[in-house]
Amino acid sequence: MVKLSGGDKLAAKLAEIAKNLQNAVSVDVGFLEGATYPDGTSVPLVAALNEFGTRDTPPRPFFRGMIDDKSPEWPDAVGNLLVANGYDAEKTLGQTCEAIKGQLQAAITAYDGPPLQPATIARKGNDKQLVDTGHMLASVDYAVKKS
């Protein structure tokens, strides 16, 4: 027969963990609503046009590619961070979002898909498909939403 002691402490700790996990319930990572270029153009719109293409430009799926490549790592990372952060969900999600933000920015700068047209390269002065002024890259952000 096994004898257990300290059940009250365990129950209290589990209740504390449950409470902490309820504090932050969702996150957004990417191009958040309201982000604009200096001329008022929507950054999420420009990102979507790059991601899915238009009649005149091919799709450049940097976001979906990053998700396909990196999302298998996220559950273990969240689990490890939860333990390291004492099951503080808000802190854990913030750190996770910061990491995903970096992964998305890296995907933008590393993207090497359909080449740009010669006229576009001449106008921009480089052949990077997704980096022109750097504004879209700098606009990658995240939000941890509390309940």
Confidence of residue 45 (pLDDT cuts 50, 70, 90): very high
Q: Are the C-beta atoms of 85 and 16 separated by less than 8 Å?
A: no
DSSP-assigned letter for residue 61: -
Closest CA to 51 of 113, 121, 1: 113
Query: What was the pLDDT predicted at 13?
Result: 74
At 76 the three-state DSSP class reads: helix
Domain ranges of the chain: 25-146
Cα 11 to the center of its chain, rounded Å: 35
Q: Is the pLDDT confidence value at 108 over 70?
A: yes
**pLDDT at 136 exceeding the cut of 70:** yes
**Residue 92 CB-density burial (10 A; 0-12 exposed, 13-18 middle, 19+ buried):** buried
Instruction: Give yes or no for residue 123 having a pLDDT over 80.
Output: yes
| pLDDT (0 to 100) of residue 12 | 78
Percent of the chain with pLDDT over 70: 92
What confidence category does residue 8 fall into, taking pLDDT thresholds of 50, 70 and 90? confident
The whole-angstrom separation of Cα 115 and Cα 102 is 24
